[in-house]
Amino acid sequence: MAQLRLPNFFSDHMVLQRNTELNFWGWGGANRQIKVIGSWFQDTVKTRVDYNGKWAVKLPAGKAGGPYTLKVISNETETLELSDILLGDVFLCSGQSNMEWGGNQNLKEIMDELPSANNPQIRFLQASRVAASNPQENLPNSWTTLSAETLKPFSAIGYFIAKEINKEINVPIGVINASWGGTGAEVWTPNHLIVNDPFLLKYAKMQDINNYRPYEGGVLWNSMVHPYAGYNLTAAYWYQGESNVGYYPSYDKLMKTLIGSWRAAWNQEFPFYFVQIAPFAYNSKDGPKAAYLRELQAKTAVEMPKTGMVVITDLVDNIKDIHPVQKKAVAKRLSDMTLAEVYDRPIKEYKSPIYKSHVVKGNQIEVSFYYVEDGLKAKGPISELFIAGEDMQFHPAQGSIQGNKLLVSAKEVKNPVAVRFGFTETAMPNLFNSKGLPVSPFRTDK
């Protein structure tokens, strides 16, 4: 007859967010008293179960450390005890296969980590691949400690972020991974926000039906994200977009909707950092659709508060493989962004330059960028650079760097109107900021 229950992710080995009041909840017999006793706080926290059998409390903030214990008591007759709890920082990772990939795909970077995977300060919560037509309140997964066995199937990017931030900040790190290969962003967005927006709905209906992954709006938001909405976070990371290339026009609005809905569900404007899709031979028949999607990702990064985008045009070894193998370097760029913005570490030039504006100066076009302080640099003559006049016929162009600006010209174009840089599906150009981060591909025309 026991009725006292917790969501499975409130479990042994969990990491709870340090230095903040903590949301904590469960179920029990209606109107029964609930007491929560934690080894990091002094006073017992009390509440009553409501008429729906639900209860929720705020647990006192605590400093990083542990292991701690937590005891939940209902009417002095039912008790649940959790042990080996750490207080630290919690990160949510989500997206499609490039976020999901790790040792199960024989990723060498992870296979090399397995023999030494024993840091007790790093913990994982791996969300099972489950879809649902309605928002769920629980999922079947609980927290695990780091070991070769738990690391192998986990997100390589999630692990390397945890490893880097734990090394730099020296607090426990918990990573929740909710990813599913091949999924469009629509399945991770609450469905009512899509069906009530004609623009989003139009493109959502273009999704390919596939036997290997869900495609209906909201079904993974419902089952793989919604259950722990409210579980206090430090930041979220996102690597997805490949499955939206075919119907790219909605992607900026879709991502702003997704990010906004997640933050609303948590009631927290947590930082949201994402990876621009990599060069890959999509072989789109009607225009460079991947370039159009990257352009919209850059738009989101510039316009959406507390977001950041990692550019990886230099981290691809094979444009015929949609899964670049260099995950550690991607995680390092995401970690540096987090260390700079969340932890106020003095890291300069941690964001890739993104096109801002341009002016025509005679037979040249001068391009300005966001996120450049210490100038640009190129490895040899600047590649993948094109310029056009009013006829919009693009010619290979020469580029020169003047501090934080790029000057572009070509002998064939006397009166230029537009520049394109790396604006193809597979371009891997050679223009960088002073730290060596690649400039995001762009076009100045529409």
**Is the distance from CB of 136 to CB of 226 less than 8 angstroms?**
yes
pTM of the shown model: 0.97
pLDDT digits (tens, 9 = 90+) for 250-273: 999 999 999 999 999 999 999 999
d(CA 156, CA 323): 12
The pair of three-digit structure tokens given for residue 379, joined into one six-digit string: 């490895």
Structure confidence by residue, pLDDT tens digits, 392-429: 999 999 999 999 999 999 999 999 999 999 999 999 99
* pLDDT tens series, the chain, 446 aa: 679 999 999 999 999 999 999 999 999 999 999 999 999 999 999 999 999 999 999 999 999 999 999 999 999 999 999 999 999 999 999 999 999 999 999 999 999 999 999 999 999 999 999 999 999 999 999 999 999 999 999 999 999 999 999 999 999 999 999 999 999 999 999 999 999 999 999 999 998 888 899 999 999 999 999 999 999 999 999 999 999 999 999 999 999 999 999 999 999 999 999 999 999 999 999 999 999 999 999 999 999 999 999 999 999 999 999 999 999 999 999 999 999 999 999 999 999 999 999 999 999 999 999 999 999 999 899 999 999 999 999 999 999 999 999 999 999 999 999 999 999 999 999 999 999 999 999 999 99
Listed residue (331, 354, 106) closest to 235, CA to CA: 331
Residue 425: half-sphere exposure toward Cβ, Cα within 13 Å: 20
What domains sit in the chain, N to C, each tagged with a CATH number? 15-85 (2.60.40.10), 87-341 (3.40.50.1110), 354-443 (no CATH)
How would you classify residue 65: left for phi > 0, otherwise alpha for psi between -120 and 50, otherwise beta? left
- Tell me the H-state helices in 136-279: 148-151, 156-169, 191-195, 198-204, 219-220, 251-266
Distances (CA, A) of 408 to 291, 292, 306, 313, 359: 20, 21, 32, 20, 11
